[in-house]
A = this chain, B = another copy of it.
Amino acid sequence: MKRTSRDIRTANRYEVLRQIIAESPTSRQELAAATELSLATVATLVGELLDLRMITEVGFEDSAGPARGLVAVNASGGALIGVDIAETYVHVELFDLGLNVLARADEDMGPGESLPEQVVAHVAAAVGSVVAQAGIEGARVLGVGVSVPGQVDRDTGVSEYAPNWDWHDVPLLDLLSEVIAYPLYLDNPLRAGAVAEMWFGAARGRGDTVVVNLGTGVGAGLALGGGLYRGVSNSAGEWGHTTLVLDGRLCRCGNRGCVEAYVGAAGIMLNLRELSPRSPLLHPDDQTATIDALARGVGAYDPVALKVVRETARYIGAGIANLVNVLNPEVVVLSSWVARKLGEPLLHEVREAVARHALRRPLAATEIVLSPIPTDPACLGAATFALEGALQSLGQRTATKRTTLARSRTAPPS
């Protein structure tokens, strides 16, 4: 887990590309100022990105001083695909290198469709659809990032545990690679969401950040010390399965009193049922419809909806205060579909609840915000993993080429 100079170099390369994507066109001087790297380092990294055709030279700055070359992301230099496998749907987006969405595809999954083969078929169909919609050649797809809920071994591509489908040790990447020919990168929505916030969202240019995903499952993506924090076996961030109410409600993980049992979509439905068993807001077998009804109810000052959101926020707030007290982050981001649907009213109640539970000093250092990412953060984050992967493998190829070149120059004639 020690950080090496190579890690720093990789992080700096991401940082420069991130900045170019955010602010194209831009000059090396502006990049140095924005990234706090030296001009020499920026010039080297820009040279590498130009070699990889991820960015291009686009003329000179219009200024009085010496002419400064401008670079911009080479949006058409390749395509990236992000796959968000959620409990009830598969959502796929195809991006250009500027991370603009060029095509989208959705597949609904019924409660009966829990076999890996069924899920893989939906993913393959949606990936095929976005490539066809965008009308691009397959060779231009640099990679496919796949986000799947639960615990993931990203090196072996195995879904070790996905609670919603009760998957154990499913070799998902192998199954996917039988039907998808592009390079594949597997991780979970916690890490995808955190990377999306680091590259394009609320964590950009900020210190330690916790991205709290509120959906069917809940968890936290951790961006600590300038990088994604994974833990020793890529399972950090299982905040949803921390105990908040010892001996409390049964959770689908088998434990009792977990945060998820109170604030996951099913937990929120239970909060509603406990408060008002026959509420018309309740759609017994439909999480999305129930959360939508709650959101509308809050907008209309429905007292039951307000009370359910307040009660849910009480649990979320106590759980987030635990993260604030342990990790002392600069930013806490509320993300995923439940947070998006309940929006500002939920945020307001959560902030109040966190303030009641967190210690004064870490509380004063923390800002709590809704995710500013307008599209699906898990898709965007998954595509970013593909971008990072492409950058790494292209970087290695370039390095090999250069070494070979250097060797052919210096080797004695044989």
Contacts and interface: CB of A to CB of B under 8 A. Distances in A.
Nearest to A365: B233
A222, A248, A319, A326: most-surrounded residue (chain B CB, <10 A): A326
Interface stretch (A54-62, A279-287, A355-363, A395-403): A355-363
A315 B222 CA distance: 25
Interface in A231-253: 231-239, 241-246, 248, 253
Interface stretch (A2-10, A114-122, A134-142): A2-10
A279 to B, nearest CB: 23
Copies of the protein in its oligomer = 2
A84 interface: no
Contacts of A8: 3-5, 8
A3 B207 CA distance: 11
B220 A326 contact: yes
Interface string A305-340: 000000000010011011101111110000000000
Nearest to A323: B326
A413 interface: no
Contacts of A411: none
Contact of A229 (B225, B232, B361): B225
A151 to B, nearest CB: 5
Given A5-B8, A151-B359, A232 B161 contact: no
Nearest to A226: B2
Contacts of A29: none
A43 interface: no
Contact of A322 (B36, B235, B322): B322
A160 interface: yes
A274 B246 CA distance: 17
Given A3-B225, A224-B224, A326 B239 contact: yes
A209 B43 CA distance: 37
A375 B230 CA distance: 33
A255 interface: yes
A246 B326 contact: no
Contacts of A361: 151, 160-161, 233, 235
Nearest to A245: B246
Contacts of A225: 1-3, 224-225, 227, 229
Contacts of A237: 326, 328
A96 interface: no
Nearest to A152: B361
A231 B327 contact: yes
Contacts of A11: 2-3
A212 to B, nearest CB: 12
A187 interface: no
Interface string A359-381: 11110111000000000000000
A93 interface: no
Contacts of A321: 242-243
A197 interface: no
A225 B229 CA distance: 8
A207 B230 CA distance: 12
Contact of A329 (B231, B327, B330, B365): B231
Interface string A238-274: 1101111110100001010000000000000000000
6 contacts: A151-B359, A236-B327, A242-B326, A243-B322, A243-B357, A245-B245
Which 6 A-B residue pairs are closest in the complex by CB-CB distance?
A: A231-B328, A238-B325, A242-B322, A2-B226, A233-B365, A236-B328
Given A225-B225, A233-B362, A239-B326, 5 more contacts: A1-B224, A2-B226, A231-B327, A238-B325, A253-B359
